[in-house]
Structure 1
Amino acid sequence: MKDFDEVTSWSVLRRDGVAVVVAHPEVGLPLVLHWGADLGELSSADLQALDLATSRQTAPGTLDAAWRPSLLPQESDGWAGRPGLLVVSDGVPLYPRWTVTEAERATAELVVTARDSVLGLTLRSYLEIGPGGLVLLRHELTNDGSAVVDVHWLEAMLPVPAPRTTSRSSPGAGPARRCRSRLPCRPAAPSARPGGDVRGTTHPG
Structure 2
Amino acid sequence: MAAVDVAAVAAAGVALGAAAWAAPQLFHRAILHALRAPRVPHTPPVEALPLPHGRLRTLSLAGPGGRRLAAWAVWPAPARVPAPAVVVMHGWGANASMMWPVVDPLVRAGFAVLLLDARCHGASDDEDFTSMPRFAEDLAAGLRWLAVQPASTPRGSRSSATRSARRRACCMRRRAARRSAARQWVPSSACRRSRTPKR
Q: Is TM > 0.5 for Structure 1 vs Structure 2? A: no
**Between Structure 1 and Structure 2, which shows a larger proportion of strand residues?**
1
Q: Structure with the greater relative contact order (CA < 8 A, sep ≥ 6): 1 or 2?
A: 2
TM-score (norm 1): 0.24
Asked which structure has the greater CA Rg, the reply is: 2
TM-score (norm 2): 0.24
**Between Structure 1 and Structure 2, which shows a larger proportion of helix residues?**
2
